[in-house]
Structure 1
Amino acid sequence: MTISIDPTRLSGVKRSSTYLAMRSTQGGRTVYSLRVPLADLSVILPVPNPEEPDPDNRKVDRRHAKDFGDYLHRKIDWVAPALLARDNGGCKFDGIEGAPEGRLGYLEIPWSVGALSPLSTIDGQHRILGVDIEIKTLTEQINKINKDIERARSEDRLSQLRQQRDDLLQRLQRMDSEYVGLDIYLEPDNIRSRQMFVDVADNAKGISSALRSRFDGSKIANRTLDRVMDHALMKGRVDLEQDRMTTKNPNLMGAKHVADLTRAVAVGVAGRIGKKRETELDDAAVTEAVHKFLECITEAFTDLAAVADGKLAPLQLRQQSLLGSVGTLRVLAGTYHVFTQEMDLDDEEITEFFRRLNPHMNAPVTSASIWRTTQASADFEINASAPVMRTQNLQHLVDVVAGWYKNPPTGL
C-alpha cells in the first residue's frame, strides 16, 4: 500500500500574520498602511511594560493605558487615530499584480516574540497596553465565571452567570471584530528610528483644555458650554482656543474657564463630577443655575455690568479689578454654590451680599484691603490682581467669603 503525503499541507507553527496593506512614501521612507483587529495588536507589536520602559520611547502609565481599555468598553462609537510603528526590515511586502505602481499588497509581519519582533512602537503605547489589559481582564473574568458555573446549583444562579458570561464574550468578540489603523515606517537604522520618535513628539500639537471643553461632550460642564456662553456677560468674550488669559488677550476668559465656573456652581469650587454624578445632573437645570449666578454677579458688580454692556473691555477690567481674574470668578461661583445648596439663600439675597463686596474689588490688592486684613490674607498676596490659584486656596477663600454673610468683617 502506497502512502502519499502532501508536504504543502504541513505548515507547523507560523509565527506571523499577513494583512492587506497600502505602500507609500513619506520623508524618503517606505510606509505600510493597514487596518488591524484590536486583538492582534499585542501579537504583532511589543506590549509596553510600565516597570521596564523602552529606552527608545517614553515610560507608559498603566492607569492611563487602562483608561483607554475602559473607554473602549464605555463607548461603542469609540474613535482613535492610527498607531505608528517602525519596521527594522523584518516585514515582507508582496505586491498584488495589477495594483497601480505596486502600492497594494500583502504585508507579512512576524509576531512580537522576544527579540524576534521587527516592529517597535513610535506612537500608541498606551493604546496597545490598554487593549492588552482589557483582553486579559475579560479572559480572566470569563474563566472565573466558567468555574462558578460548574459549581452553581440553582437555575437562577446558572442563568445569571451565563448572562454575565455572554456579555463578557460579546465584549471580547469586539476585540476581534473592530479595527484600528496602523502605519509602519521602514527604517533599519536605529539612530534614525530614535529621531522619528522625537520628531513625532515635537510636532504633535496637544489638545488644549479650551478645545477639550468645546468638543468633549462626555462632561456636562462641556455639553452646556454653548448655552452658558450665550449669557450677555460672556457672549463674544470667550476664547475658544486658548487656556490662558494673558495681558493682551481681549477675552474675558477661555472655554475651559467657563467649564470651571459651571462645575463650581454645580458641585463647588473643589468639587468633582464623577460618572454617577454626571448621570444625575440635568443639562438644562445646570445651565439655568449658571445663568442665575451670572445674573447675580452682573447686577452686583458695576465693572461686570459695564463689561456686559460693552462699556468696559476685559483687558481694562483685568488691569483695575479682581473680577478680571478667573480665580476670583471661580470663588464667587463656589460661594454661590454654598449659598444656594447649603445656606438656602435666594438670588436676591445673594446679589445683595455680592453688592457689598463691590467696593473691595479694586486691583491690585493693598495691605489695607479686606483681602489682606482678614483670614483671606492666606489666599491673596500684596499687589496681586488674583487669588492664589491652588484648589485648596480657592476652597479656603470660598469658606471665608461665605462666612462673611453672617459674620462680616469691619468695612463690609
Structure 2
Amino acid sequence: MDIQVQPSTFTPSAYQTDQQFFATKYQQGTRSVYGLASTPGELVGLVPRPDPAVPTEGNRRINASHAEAFARYFIENESWVIPGIILRAVNMFHFEPMQEIPSAAFGVMSYPKRRQGDIHILDGQHRILGFFMALDKLDADIEKARSYKATVRRTMPDDKRAELDAQKEIDRLERARDRFYNQRVAVEIQVTDDIDEAKQMFFDIAENALGITASTRARFDSRKIVNRALPMVLEHPLLLNRVDLDKDRVQKNSPFWIPASKVVEIIRTMRKGFEGRVSRKDNEAWKGEEAAIARETNEFFDLLVKTMPPVNALLHSQITAGQMRDTMLLGGQTFIRILAGVYYELRKDRKWSTKQVEEFFAALGPHASGRAHANSIWKRHAPDHLFNLNGVGPSGRRADSVELMNLITDWAITRAPFVYSAPEPAPVAEEDPDEGIDFAPSHSTKQLELELERENAEVAQESKDRLNAK
C-alpha cells in the first residue's frame, strides 16, 4: 500500500503534541481499559523511572536487587518472558475505533504529551525498573566493548582473532539492546481518577496472584475500616518513619520500631480488645468513624510517650528502635500490642479514667525498660513459660500473649505492690574461684609409651612360653 504524504500537512513525530498507539479498548469491572503491545523502549518512555528510595503512591516499596535480577535476566535470555504490565491513568485519552466487536474495539489511542506524568505504574514496577537498568547497562557495555575493539585495533593490528572476538561481543550486546525496540510486552492502561480505587486494584491484583504481607495489605485494602484509619495513625509523631510499611516482622538491624500490620492490630484492639475481630457488620456500622478510631489509637501512643521514658526518648531520637529491641521489652512489637490490650481492658472494659491508666503505666514503665532477668517482675511474678531468662520479649505464642495481657491487667486491678516498687537490679554473675586453673597440665607421654611397650612384651613372652610348653 502506497502512502502519499503531503509536505504541507506532514509533521515529524517529535513535533506532534499527541502521543499515539494502536490499542484495543474494552471494559474491565467499572473501568475503561486500553490494551497495547509496547516495546520495552516505548514502555520506559511511558512512565518515569521508579525510585527504590521513594515509594510510589498506590504501590509498595521497590526492592532494587529484585529489579537488578530482572535486568540480568532480560540481557542474558533471548527467550525471555514476562506477564503483562498494568499502568493507570486519569481519563485523558482519545480513541478512534477502526474495527469493533460487541465487547471491544481496535483503533488508535492518543493523549496529549504534556499529560505524560499522569500515567503511573499499577503492577510491574520491578520489571519496568529492570528495563531501565538493563538499557543503562547495555549502553555502557556497548560503549566499553567498542572502546576495547578500538584499543585492540590500535595496539594489536595483526591480531585479527582478538578484533573478531571484540566484534562478537559488540554484536551480542547490540542484539540484546535491539530487543528493546523489536520485541513487545503486553501493557494495560486502566483508566481511573481515584487513588483509593487504584490502591484497591493493586491489593486485588497482588492478593489474587499470590498474596502479600499483612503490612502491605493494611495499606491498600480499603474495605476494612481499621485499614482506612491506618494513614491517620501513621501521622503520629512517634510512628513517623518508624513503621515498616512492607514487612510483617521487624528484623534485628531494621531502623523501624514496629510493622504496619501490628499498628493495624493495635487499631483493632482499641475497638474490639486484644482478641476481638472486626466483622463485616462492624465495618458497616463504623463507616465514617475512621478519624475517631485513629484518635483513640493515637491516645494510646500518647500515653506510651508520656509514661514510658524510653518511648519518649525514641520520639526525640535519643535512642534508636534497634537499641530498644536489643535491651528492653519496650522494643518488641508483641509487647507493645499486649500493652494495647491492657489499655483497652482498663479504659473500655473497667472504665478507668485516663489518670488511673497513666498512673499504672508510669509504674510499669521502669519494669518494661529492661530485660526479663531473674530478679525482674516478669520472672518472679509471671509464669516461667511467658519469658525466657534475660529475654527482651515475651513468648510469641498467641495463647501466651493473651495470658500475659490478662496477668498485667490483674496487676493493675489489684494494685500489685511489686509494680509500684523500683525494679531490682539484675543478679551479678558469681565469680568462679577455679576460673583460670588448668586442671590438665601438660605432661610428657613418654612414660606411658614405655609402660605400653612393656605390657605388650610381657603378653608376647607369655604366648611364647605357652607355645614352647606344648
Q: Which has the higher contact order (CA 8 A, sep 6+)?
A: 1
Q: Is the 8 A contact 1:268 1:334 kept in 2?
A: yes
- 304, 327, 332: which one aligns with 1:297: 304
Residue 370 of structure 2 is aligned to residue 363 of structure 1: yes
- 379, 397, 405: which one aligns with 1:398: 405
- 232, 235, 254: which one aligns with 1:230: 235
Q: Is the 8 A contact 1:370 1:376 kept in 2?
A: no
- 247, 261, 273: which one aligns with 2:278: 273
CA offsets per residue over residues 142-200 of structure 1, 9 Å max, x none?
xxxxxxxxxxxxxxxxxxxxxxxxxxxxxxxxxxxxxxxxxxxxxxxxxxxxxxxxxxx
For 1:253, the equivalent position in structure 2 comes to 258
CA offsets per residue over residues 33-66 of structure 1, 9 Å max, x none?
9xxxxxxxxxxxxxxxxxxxxxxxxxxxxxxxxx
For 1:346, the equivalent position in structure 2 comes to 353
2:249 partner amino acid: R
Residue 345 of structure 2 is aligned to residue 324 of structure 1: no
Q: Residues 32 and 369 from structure 1, CA distance in 2 versus in 1: closer, same or farther, beyond 3 angstroms?
A: closer
Q: After TM superposition, give the deviation of residue 390 of structure 1 in Å.
A: 2.0
Q: Is the 8 A contact 1:319 1:363 kept in 2?
A: no
CA offsets per residue over residues 88-124 of structure 1, 9 Å max, x none?
xxxxxxxxxxxxx9x9xxxxxxxxxxxxxxxxxxxxx
- 210, 220, 227: which one aligns with 2:225: 220
- 264, 285, 292: which one aligns with 1:285: 292
Q: Within 5 A, what are the aligned runs for 1:93-112?
A: none
Q: Is the 8 A contact 1:245 1:251 kept in 2?
A: yes
Instruction: Tell me the distance in 2 between the aligned counterparts of 1:309 and 1:32.
Output: 46
Q: After TM superposition, give the deviation of residue 218 of structure 1 in Å.
A: 1.2
Q: Secondary structure at the match of 2:418?
A: coil
Unaligned runs of 5+ in 1: 1-20, 34-78, 82-100, 104-203
Instruction: Tell me the distance in 2 between the aligned counterparts of 1:367 and 1:314.
Output: 24
Q: Is the 8 A contact 2:328 2:371 kept in 1?
A: yes
Instruction: Tell me the distance in 2 between the aligned counterparts of 1:328 and 1:258.
Output: 12
Residue 225 of structure 2 is aligned to residue 239 of structure 1: no
Q: Within 5 A, what are the aligned runs for 1:1-150?
A: none
Residue 219 of structure 2 is aligned to residue 207 of structure 1: no
Instruction: Tell me the distance in 1 between the aligned counterparts of 2:326 and 2:83.
Output: 55
Instruction: Tell me the distance in 1 between the aligned counterparts of 2:389 and 2:81.
Output: 60
Alignment root-mean-square deviation, CA:
3.1
Q: Percent identity?
A: 27
Instruction: Tell me the distance in 2 between the aligned counterparts of 1:234 and 1:223.
Output: 16
Q: After TM superposition, give the deviation of residue 276 of structure 1 in Å.
A: 0.9
Q: After TM superposition, give the deviation of residue 31 of structure 1 in Å.
A: 11
Residue 347 of structure 2 is aligned to residue 336 of structure 1: no
1:246 partner amino acid: Q
Q: Residues 367 and 216 from structure 1, CA distance in 2 versus in 1: closer, same or farther, beyond 3 angstroms?
A: same
Instruction: Tell me the distance in 2 between the aligned counterparts of 1:228 and 1:301.
Output: 19
Q: Is the 8 A contact 2:310 2:369 kept in 1?
A: no
Q: Secondary structure at the match of 2:215?
A: helix
Q: Is the 8 A contact 1:24 1:31 kept in 2?
A: no
1:396 partner amino acid: E
Unaligned runs of 5+ in 2: 1-34, 40-76, 85-121, 125-181, 185-208, 420-470
1:405 partner amino acid: A
CA offsets per residue over residues 316-341 of structure 1, 9 Å max, x none?
11112101100110011011111111
Q: Is the 8 A contact 2:238 2:314 kept in 1?
A: yes
Instruction: Tell me the distance in 2 between the aligned counterparts of 1:29 and 1:262.
Output: 45
Runs of 4+ in 1 over 3 A off after TM superposition: 21-33, 375-378
